């Protein structure tokens, strides 16, 4: 077998491979002989079909089968011989295919890039430093009370923060459709919390001051960036009829309220301690996430990595699947391939680049996943549940989930390795600033764990 390799551009390689004719013909003859012993044709006894008949009928198919097998085998031998690391399946182009002559084909593919890992000194990280104060705990408890509020009917005019029960009917107020109802603009016995921002600008403010059994017409304009082409920028009128006005009632801080969050003993002191524990866990995760995001961005900034297009295409497909699942499209039979690849390519390239870079750091620095850190990670995640040990046992009995945790821990070990050499500055900030999600520019392209939301952390 003759092999020549050519670098066409960047990561693309062009292998020209020649397989000797005798090897191809020998394999074809062997296959046809075996076939002649088994084939059954009218007019011939089993095993007595002449070879020329077998060849005439099955020769082309046998050749195609043999060539397919030989191409695959020759490609593997060639990339091994040339010490190439393909990043995807090759595109095969036959150059000559004549019986009795050497078979020549070209395999075009991309290889994994060679990555030179730097010393990480160019990575800069601004690490938030914050604590959970008593005031933060009190504010969080008020948030929990607000999330658990109920509504009671009152005999007064509606105020911001109240909830109304009402009917409404929307019509176009100008143009060719003036006076016509529009889709989605009608409801009966609908509930609306005034000031919640659920409706278009001016709607909720316009209903402040209404009372039960009162009717009011709102003259409004849909925003220019509204999602409906029919309604964006349109002047409309909503005829509203209010049935009830309800005021918000917050639950008392008592044992019944504390039990909703798993605190059955110790009263308010125990409840505050539980809230503190969960807020501190959320704070640790948020800080770790922001630091990790900056490290990943720093690695991408300080390392130029050319990414193989097959890996990017695979990542785009994964992101398509995730997008469809996130919005429930999979249940309706929506094909992820219908989503344009351009929507995901930029982030897919960054994900692939980070994956390659992290893998090379792990290899060159000989980082091994720390089993003790894996257990600590699982125990920390399990602590948010009422039966932590059941969660721990579930992870260790589920190999796929356990592997995901191990990879997260391995990434964190990479982050720790980078931080030892990176330029790190600590910035004191409040709890709220620390847990606030970073701006898109700070997180773009980095695979980060999402900090749990307040509701999840305190539940």
Please write the tens of the pLDDT for every residue from 107-129.
Answer: 999 999 999 998 999 999 999 99
Average pLDDT, integer, range 241-263 = 95
Would residue 143 count as lying in a domain?
no
Residues 326 and 393 in one domain: yes
**Same-domain check for residues 64 and 211:** no
How many residues are there in the chain? Answer: 459
Short-list 306, 304, 278, 297, CA closest to 384: 278
Longest dimension (CA), the chain: 103
> How many domains in the chain?
3
With cut-offs at 50, 70 and 90, classify the pLDDT of residue 455: very low
Q: Is 90 exceeded by the pLDDT of residue 370? A: yes
pLDDT of residue 138: 97
Judged against a pLDDT cut of 90, whether residue 45 lies above it is answered with: no
* Residue 144, domain member (yes or no): no
Torsion sign, CA atoms 177, 178, 180, 184? positive
Please tell me the distance from the alpha carbon of residue 415 to that of residue 361, in angstroms, as a whole number: 10
3-state DSSP assignment of residue 309:
helix
CATH of the domain at 15: 3.30.70.1050
Ramachandran region of residue 195, left (φ > 0), alpha (ψ -120 to 50) or beta? left
pLDDT at 329: 63
Mean pLDDT of 79-86: 95
Q: Residue 330 has what pLDDT?
A: 57
Average pLDDT over residues 89-100: 88
Evaluate whether 87 touches 112 at the Cβ level (below 8 Å).
yes
What CATH code is carried by the domain that includes residue 235?
Answer: 3.10.50.40
Are both 218 and 78 inside the same structural domain? no
Inter-residue contact 281 to 457 (CB < 8 Å):
yes
262 and 376 housed in the same domain:
yes
Decide if pLDDT at 266 tops 80.
yes
pLDDT at 61: 87
Straight-line distance from the first to the last Cα atom of the chain, in angstroms, rounded to the nearest whole number: 66
The structure tokens listed for 387 are 């039966």
Residue 35 pLDDT: 76
Tokens of 322: 């995730």
Confidence band of 383 (pLDDT split at 50, 70, 90): confident
Q: Do 343 and 389 belong to one domain?
A: yes
The answer on pLDDT for 458 being more than 70 is no
Regarding whether 245 and 344 lie in a shared domain, the answer is no
306 in the same domain as 186 = no
User: Has residue 296 been placed in a domain?
Assistant: yes
- What is the per-residue burial (b if ≥16 Cβ within 10 Å, else e) of 385-400? eeeeeebbeebeeeee
Q: Do residue 291 and residue 222 come from a single domain?
A: no
285 and 432 inside one domain = yes
**pLDDT cut 70: percent of the chain above it:** 93
Would residue 169 count as lying in a domain?
A: yes
What global pTM score does this model have? 0.75
3 state DSSP class of 366: coil
Average pLDDT, the chain: 90
The domain boundary, picked from 209, 224, 249, lies at 249
Q: Which of 360, 449, 380 is nearest to 412 (CA)?
A: 449
Q: Quote the tokens at residue 19.
A: 């397989």
Compute the distance between CA of residue 5 and CA of residue 413 in angstroms, rounded to an integer. Answer: 38
Give 33-43 pLDDT, tens digit per residue: 877 777 777 66
Tell me how many degrees the CA angle 218-220-222 measures, rounded to the nearest 5: 140
Same domain, 303 and 421: yes
Helix, strand, coil percent values for the chain (each to nearest 5): 45, 20, 35
Residue 85 backbone dihedrals phi, psi, to 5 degrees: -120, 90
- pLDDT band at residue 325 using 50, 70 and 90 as cut-offs: confident
pLDDT of residue 48: 66
Instruction: Say if CB 145 and CB 250 are below 8 A apart.
Output: yes
pLDDT of residue 98: 83
Q: Are residues 201 and 325 in the same domain?
A: no
**442: domain CATH number?**
1.10.3120.10
Three-state DSSP class for 30? Answer: helix
Structural domain boundaries, residue 211? 150-249
């Amino acid at each position: 077998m003759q092999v020549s390799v050519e670098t066409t551009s960047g990561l693309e390689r062009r292998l020209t491979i020649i397989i000797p004719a005798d090897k191809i013909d020998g394999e074809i003859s062997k296959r046809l002989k075996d076939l002649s012993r088994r084939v059954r044709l009218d007019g011939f006894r089993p095993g007595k079909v002449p070879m020329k008949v077998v060849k005439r009928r099955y020769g082309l198919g046998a050749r195609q089968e043999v060539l397919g097998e030989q191409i695959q085998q020759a490609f593997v031998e060639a990339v091994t011989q040339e010490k190439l690391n393909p990043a995807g399946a090759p595109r095969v182009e036959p150059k000559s295919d004549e019986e009795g002559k050497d078979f020549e084909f070209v395999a075009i593919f991309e290889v994994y890039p060679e990555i030179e890992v730097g010393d990480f000194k160019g990575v800069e990280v601004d690490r938030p430093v914050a604590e959970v104060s008593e005031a933060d705990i009190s504010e969080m408890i008020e948030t929990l009370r607000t999330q658990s509020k109920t509504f009671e009917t009152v005999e007064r005019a509606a105020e911001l923060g109240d909830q109304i029960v009402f009917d409404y009917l929307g019509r176009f107020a100008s143009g060719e459709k003036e006076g016509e109802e529009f889709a989605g603009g009608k409801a009966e016995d609908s509930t609306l919390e005034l000031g919640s921002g659920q409706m278009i600008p001016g709607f909720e403010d316009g209903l402040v001051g209404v009372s039960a059994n009162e009717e009011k017409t709102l003259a409004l304009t849909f925003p220019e960036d509204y999602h409906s082409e029919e309604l964006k920028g349109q002047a409309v009128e909503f005829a509203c009829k209010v049935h009830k006005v309800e005021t918000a009632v917050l639950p008392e801080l008592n044992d019944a309220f504390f039990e909703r969050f798993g605190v059955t003993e110790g009263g308010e002191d125990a409840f505050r301690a539980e809230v503190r524990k969960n807020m501190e866990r959320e704070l640790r995760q948020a800080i770790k996430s922001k630091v990790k995001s900056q490290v990943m961005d720093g690695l991408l900034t300080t390392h130029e990595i050319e990414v193989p297009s097959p890996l990017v295409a695979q990542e785009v497909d994964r992101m398509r699947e995730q997008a469809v699942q996130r919005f429930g499209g999979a249940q309706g039979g929506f094909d992820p391939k219908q989503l344009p690849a351009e929507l995901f390519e930029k982030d897919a390239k960054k994900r692939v680049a980070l994956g390659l870079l992290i893998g090379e750091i792990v290899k060159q620095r000989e980082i091994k996943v720390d089993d003790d850190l894996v257990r600590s990670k699982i125990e920390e995640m399990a602590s948010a549940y009422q039966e932590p040990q059941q969660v721990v046992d579930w992870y260790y009995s589920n190999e796929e989930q356990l592997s995901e945790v191990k990879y997260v821990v391995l990434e964190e070990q990479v982050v720790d390795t980078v931080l030892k050499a990176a330029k790190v500055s600590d910035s004191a900030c409040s709890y709220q600033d620390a847990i606030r999600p970073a701006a898109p520019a700070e997180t773009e392209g980095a695979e980060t764990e999402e900090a749990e939301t307040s509701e999840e952390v305190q539940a």
